[in-house]
Amino acid sequence: MRMPEPIRTEHLFAPLHEELMALLRSLSAAEWSAPTVAGAWTVKDVAAHLLDTAIRRLSMQRDGHTMSGPFDPRPFDPNAANREWVSAAGRLSPRILIEMLDRYGRENAEYLASLDPFAKAQWGVTWAGEEESPVWFDVARELTERWHHQQQIRDAVGRAPLHEPYLGPVLATFVRALPFTYRDVDAPDGTAIVFNDWSLVRDGGWTLHEGRAGDPVTAIEIDPAVAWRVFTKQQIDPQAVIEGDARYAEPLLRMVTVIG
């Protein structure tokens, strides 16, 4: 086993953006209204959300803009902002939405690729329990967002999933939430829990390792094509193969790696 290496994903945003543009340009009028697994959001709503997150990052992080106005003392609430934006974006035609996404999605990809990956990020990755995170982790988290929302669109309109070269880095990012997910799970020091090719080992707290620990108390196998759905709140059967004490698998099967 070894300690996990930083996950470098900045080079994946530009090709992922081009895949999204090709997908959206292929949609029929009816497909834009197709329901998705993202709550009550349609395909168009999910696409509008992707535009929002690109513009929001560029505005707040690149341009230093404060989202709350001078007469709005409330702290920024991302879930409320998501709802407000998607509601307002109902006024946009698919054509306008595509044109805006094409511009700001490319700008977002270029901006993320320009950052120092080892600097301190403006935001911590909260679902991993971090108030402060390095840029590479915040960028990898952003990739998981942009990728899994595109997958939701693909599912909704019956297009093929887009696994390579994205699924591996996405899961490597998601598993960084395991120590936080297991923070309240007590076990003797030396206890190891294996999930696919990662190990969670107890040593005072829980530490994530790459590779499989010998003699784990629990070993969990989930097809990567299913695992990402489990961790993004899609209510599906994880089809997990569990060996050993199944109690230690329960936190992993409930793990959430999205905000809201």
Whole-angstrom distance, CA of residue 217 vs CA of residue 247? 10
Banded pLDDT at 76 (limits 50, 70, 90)? low
User: What pLDDT, on a 0 to 100 scale, did the predictor assign at position 81?
Assistant: 78
User: Given a cut of 70, is residue 260 above it in pLDDT?
Assistant: no
Q: Which residue has the tokens 């297009």?
A: 159
pLDDT band at 43 (very low <50, low <70, confident <90, very high): very high
pTM score: 0.92
Integer CA distances (angstroms), 15 to 118, 147, 175, in order:
23, 11, 24
* % of the chain residues with pLDDT over 90: 85
152 and 203 together in one domain: no
The rounded mean pLDDT for the chain is 94
* Class of residue 101 by CB neighbours under 10 A (exposed 0-12, middle 13-18, buried 19+): buried
Of 114, 136, 162, which closes a domain? 162
Rounded CA-CA distance 181/175 in Å is 10
Query: How far, in Å, CA of 191 to CA of 205, rounded?
Result: 11
Host domain of residue 195: 177-253
- The pLDDT tens digits of the residues spanning 10-31 come to 999 999 999 999 999 999 999 9
Regarding whether 135 and 50 lie in a shared domain, the answer is: yes
Among 133, 162, 191, residue at a domain's last position: 162
| Residue 71, pLDDT above cutoff 50 | no
